[in-house]
């Protein structure tokens, strides 16, 4: 088993946060700070990029590996408390991880929010759109060794082929209000229809969690605690 990397802050019911991109949680501090008064926030770092491993060699990633690592982290934290099921929030690639975690371990989760998971192959023209999305992101390739480069080289391609099972329980699919008319808003609508989930809008766009951390955290809190 590989090492586990995660951080814990706050108090209350457990909320597992699954970042997007290469899973790096850098930049999520303001978001988790606004959640900490309401939740025990567990921020998962699948590649350890925020824990000294940025720049280390990275292999191609698999959705199942991320979701099983997230499950292990969750079980470690839950074992220290009352063992109650946890809430989960995931954005982008983290949203795909959240979907797979819910599919594999539904009994351990109270409710899941997946924000703009890029499951583009669900769309009728998904293969073409996936190719265009990869080409578009590759065209703005960042410097080697950065989290974004790791995402482009080892996460984007395998994750965008993921197709969640139908009829997932206790699931909300979210899309940014500023993403209307864009591919990942449309994808979120398709994922919600495919899984039978509730569909809702969140502040900002695809990076809303960074653009408006306070407003985004409030929307997460309202959505999750409103589910009971």
Q: Please, which residues have CB within 8 angstroms of residue 185's CB and are 6 or more apart in sequence?
A: 116, 175, 176, 179
Of 114, 160, 170, give the one whose Cα is nearest residue 138: 160
Of 17, 30, 24, give the one whose Cα is nearest residue 224: 17
Strands 109-115 and 198-202: unpaired
Contact 110, 86 (CB under 8 A): yes
Give me the average pLDDT of each 10-residue run along the chain (228 residues).
Answer: 88 97 93 98 96 91 97 95 90 98 97 98 95 89 84 94 96 98 97 98 97 97 87
Pick one of 3.40.50.1820, 1.10.10.10, 3.10.20.600, 3.40.50.620 as the CATH number of 6-225: 3.40.50.1820
Provide φ and ψ at 86, rounded to 5°: -110, 160
Looking at residue 1, its pLDDT comes to 44
Distance CA 87, CA 126 (A): 30
Looking at residue 2, its pLDDT comes to 67
């Amino acid at each position: 088993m590989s090492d586990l990397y995660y951080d814990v802050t706050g108090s209350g019911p457990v909320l597992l946060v699954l970042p997007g991109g290469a899973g790096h949680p850098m930049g999520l501090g303001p978001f988790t700070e606004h959640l900490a008064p309401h939740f025990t926030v567990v921020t998962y770092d699948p590649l350890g990029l925020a824990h000294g491993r940025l720049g280390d060699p990275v292999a191609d990633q698999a959705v199942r590996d991320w979701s099983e690592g997230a499950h292990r982290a969750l079980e470690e934290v839950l074992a220290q408390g009352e063992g109650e099921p946890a809430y989960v929030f995931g954005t982008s690639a983290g949203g795909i991880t959240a979907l797979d975690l819910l599919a594999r371990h539904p009994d351990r989760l109270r409710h899941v929010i997946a924000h703009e998971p890029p499951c583009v192959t669900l769309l009728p023209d998904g293969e073409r759109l996936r190719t265009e999305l990869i080409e578009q992101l590759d065209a703005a390739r960042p410097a080697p060794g950065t989290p974004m480069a790791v995402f482009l080289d080892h996460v984007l391609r395998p994750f965008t082929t993921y197709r969640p099972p139908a009829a997932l329980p206790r699931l909300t699919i979210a899309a940014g209000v500023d993403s209307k008319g864009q591919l990942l808003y449309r994808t979120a609508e398709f994922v919600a229809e495919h899984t039978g989930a509730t569909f809702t809008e969140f502040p900002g766009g695809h990076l809303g969690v960074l653009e408006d951390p306070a407003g985004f955290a409030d929307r997460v809190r309202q959505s999750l605690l409103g589910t009971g």
